[in-house]
Structure 1
Amino acid sequence: MSWKSIICRAENLLGGRCPAVDFSLLGKSESSLFIERIRSLSSMFDHKITSVIYTELENSPHDNYLTFRNWTNVFSTKKSAPRLPSSMVIPLVGQCVYGRGSNSLQLHRKMGEIFAVINLAIALHRSVVDLSDPHFQHHQRNNCAWVKNMESGNKFAVLAGDILLANSSVELASFRIPKVVELISGAIAEAVCAEFTDLATDSTQLLTDPSSQWLDHAKLRHGALLGEFCAAASLLNSPSTKNLGRIHKIAREFGVNWASLSRLLSELDYIKEIKIDNPRPPKTLTSLGFTDSGLPEPTLADTLLVASEATSSTIYDQYKSMASTLAWQLGDSLWRLLEESKPNSDVHSLAKDSVDLLVKEAC
């Protein structure tokens, strides 16, 4: 069993390729203008919005722009075979809970697409560059052309992110279920809160419990959004179901656990690749160079190295220990989710095999 076979089964059972941002939906002229603007920005200066958009195109099934523009793979640290995308986990949970049906599947896939759009919008807003950051050399801040270009990139990142969030709000409202809008709004707020954790602000002196602080950060950054989308998917077909409260809670836990474990394993893949045999204390919490959505992200290894004189063996031990805990939690939440779900052998089997493969990687 491999992720390739899992993804093929998911595409067959869940209505096609994974839900993703499709820039062509903006209209041919608008989407072309959007991509051309990014190309123009990337040719003039190094703004983080370029890596965000490239990574989105690289991961999207709607990759006509990527092949046409012939960009090279310089923005992403993802090297291993992809796991089941988070946007596909959402319709998987929805179909697990209420059974297969063309109408319900369409709604669950739409929810996955909105998730992808919001995820991109948040990344675009995060790509805004703080020009007062001492990281930038003095001569750069005094370079009028450089400052103008960076300000232009910032404005474009904010505008593009705002437009995507506005479109997502309209799509969410079309479900006509107030609770869905409430859940997703709360999840967006939690994801934004990740910008103010000790890991995001590089407050290295505050890392008193690096493993717990990393997990809290990861759950805010990644788990909250996927968790609430999984919970919202359980509301779409039967918002007045008797056991709705319990189903909603379990679906959310499953999404949070899936996102947290997937992120941890992605980090572990990267850490193994760069081979930190003789680790040195890093200068920042993103010194190891791991990226997510095209942006630098603090890893568990970064936090351990900053907080203490960790060795490569203790770092791997921490990864394995946390992976084991998250794997157990994921398996438990799946078992409870299927207990509350309608019988659906094909989809339930896909969910079990997906979790089993993720757990196998964690062990």
Structure 2
Amino acid sequence: MMRPVLLLSLCAKSCSRILVQFWAEGGGNPRQGRRLFSGSPSPSSASHWSKVVSEAEKIVGYPTSFMSLRCLLSDELSNIAMQVRKLVGTKHPLLNTARRFVSDSRNNLQMRGLVVLLVSKAAGPNLSTESSIQNDIVSGIYSSQRALAEITELIHTAFLVHRGIVNIGELTSSDGALKDMQFGNKMAVLSGDFLLANACTSLAQLQNTKVVEIMSSAIGELVQGVYYENSSLTKVNILTDDIRISAWKEQVFLSHCVLLAKSCQAAMELAKHTAGIQNMAFKYGKHVSMSHKLNVDIQPFINGNSNDSLAFSLNSAPVVFHQELVGREIWIKQIKEAQGKGDLIDYSKLQDAIKAGKGVTSAIDLCRCHGNSALEALECFPPSEARSALENIVYAVTRFS
């Protein structure tokens, strides 16, 4: 019988074309308020980033761009997709999320699974385990570790879909009919729950209680992080909140880093590696995720100005650093100057004030600091192509030129 992952690779090209055609019928951009949940390295380094991803995929044995496609092609989710056609013509984020999933030009959506596979190959097989497990290796990676990479992507995709639920109270007439947006929210909840349920079922099939424990805790902490993130974004006084970088790092770890960190740890547990190796894999996943998030936050401040509030997040690292460095009184004064006589914020003026300070350079320093920590964690692995690929990913997300 053909391996599911090989079958997935063979059908990905033709199936993705069908899905792209379906989701491409939607139009408009999602209403995201003031937040940025995803991103990629700067446009100037896009070709470099694509090269890093392409080389890494060759090392693990197959393209990971459609790692979760098998679940997306199930009958259950196909029925949901038919219902979601009703959202065509609205600006509900569910349409945009689905389109990006199958036609992502930034090579960003499936990176977690790729990193899990690279860490698995970099650590190598555990020669002290029984021979039956040793026979279950393809390209230096156990089949259970490949399954875990798919599970990681399913969990991430489920949360991407759930994060696209819109706040009905903030909608305007240009976003679409109220009943359509409410329907979109129901579909986002349903499809996200379906993906998460499939991930949990696949997790149980690994038949490793320790791995189930690790990944279950990751899901729980991810839920907690997203809740805190959404709570802070809905505060009326968000502009004048006294936010500290230490609190920011704790929240970002939960909402953006914990899934990859614990997935890397779980991959080591599947190969029966020591607690020390598991800890190093966890650290790499944590620090490379933090560097990536910082890179995303920094880009709007080094790639020009914009009058659009979507240009940068008010919870991004440069803003938080800026508030902490200049002090609360000066920050509130700068906000008032950016507001002028009306209630609307001139974000370009606020952005200029932040760029004039040390918030951006402090965020860059922190990004590189986490990058160095990720590289240090890799020192426990022997030199190999997989380790070099993991190092190149770190270099890519800490690059700002």
Q: TM-score range by the shorter chain?
A: 0.7 to 0.9
Which segments of 5 or more consecutive residues in structure 1 lack a partner in the other structure? 61-77, 291-295
Question: Taking structure 1 as reference, are residues 155 and 14 closer, same or farther at Cα in structure 2, changes over 3 Å only?
Answer: same
Kindly tell me the number of residue pairs found equivalent between the two proteins.
317
- Say which of 202, 217, 222 aligns to 1:171: 202
Kindly indicate whether the alpha-carbon contact (under 8 Å) linking 1:6 and 1:350 is maintained by their aligned counterparts in 2. yes
Distance 1:220 1:297, change over 3 A: farther
CA deviation profile, 1:75-120 (whole Å, cap 9, x unmatched): xxx6xx7699232111111211225941734333322221111111
Query: How far apart are the structure 1 equivalents of 2:50 and 2:171?
Result: 42
**Do 1:324 and 1:362's aligned partners in 2 also have CA atoms closer than 8 Å?**
no
Identity, in percent, stands at 23
Q: 1:140 to 1:346 in 2, by over 3 A?
A: closer
Mapped to 2, the partners of 1:205 and 1:3 lie a distance apart of 34
1:199 aligns with 2:232: yes
The answer on 1:161 being equivalent to 2:192 is: yes
Q: 2:249 aligns with which of 197, 201, 215?
A: 215
In 2 relative to 1, CA 33–298 (structure 1 residues): closer, same or farther, beyond 3 Å?
Answer: farther
CA distance in 2, matches of 1:129, 1:357: 32
Whether 1:338 aligns to 2:338 is no
| Amino acid corresponding to residue 102 of structure 2 in structure 1 | L
1:300 and 2:340 matched = no
Matched ranges for 1:46-57 at <5 A: 46-57=91-102
Which residue of 2 is the match for residue 63 of structure 1? Answer: none
Q: In the alignment, which residue of structure 1 is the partner of 2:221?
A: 190
Q: In structure 2, what is the equivalent of residue 66 of structure 1?
A: none
1:227 to 250, 261, 267: 261
Aligned to 2:158: 121
Per the normalisation by structure 2, the TM-score is: 0.68
**Moved >6 Å (runs of 4+):** 304-307
Change in 2 beyond 3 A, CA 1:140/1:352 = closer
CA contact (8 A) 1:228 1:255 kept: yes
The answer for the alignment partner of 2:11 in structure 1 is none
Whether contact under 8 Å (1:20, 1:112) holds in the other structure is: no
Provide the C-alpha distance between the structure 1 equivalents of 2:268 and 2:142, rounded to a whole number of angstroms. 12
Asked if structure 1 preserves the Cα contact closer than 8 Å seen for 2:283 and 2:374, the reply is yes
Deviations 1:209-257 (A, max 9, x none): 343343333222110111111111111111xx4x32x222222221111
Between 1:323-332 and 1:223-232, the stretch displaced more is: 323-332
Shift of residue 205 of structure 1?
A: 6.3
Work out whether residues 151 and 202 of structure 2, in 8 Å CA contact, stay in contact via their aligned partners in 1.
yes
Identify the residue that residue 350 of structure 1 maps to in structure 2. 389
Amino acid at match of 1:47: H
Query: Which residue identity is paired with 1:323?
Result: I
**Deviation of 1:55 (Å):** 2.2
Residues 34/322 of structure 1: CA separation in 2 closer, same or farther (3 Å cut): same
CA RMSD of aligned residues (A): 3.5
Asked if the contact 2:298/2:364 (under 8 Å) is kept, the reply is: no
Q: Does 1:17 align with 2:63?
A: yes
| 1:272 corresponds to which of 302, 314, 320 | 302
Question: For the Cα contact (< 8 Å) 1:19–1:87, is it kept in 2?
Answer: no
SS at 1:199 equivalent: helix
Q: Could you list the per-position Cα deviations for residues 104-148 of structure 1 after superposition, in whole angstroms to 9, with x for gaps in the alignment?
A: 3433332222111111111222222343x2x235x799xxx9332
Q: Given residue 116 of structure 2, which amino acid in structure 1 is its aligned partner?
A: I
In 2 relative to 1, CA 187–121 (structure 1 residues): closer, same or farther, beyond 3 Å?
same
For residue 206 of structure 2, give the secondary structure of its aligned residue in structure 1: coil
Q: Is the 8 A contact 1:117 1:164 kept in 2?
A: yes
Q: Distance in 1 between matches of 2:289 and 2:62?
A: 22
Call closer, same or farther: CA 1:9–1:325 in 2, change over 3 Å.
same
For residues 174 and 352 of structure 2, the distance between their equivalents in structure 1, rounded to whole angstroms, comes to 37
Deviation for aligned residue 1:349 = 2.2
Q: Deviations over 1:258-285 (max 9, x none)?
A: 1111122123223433425xx8xx9xxx
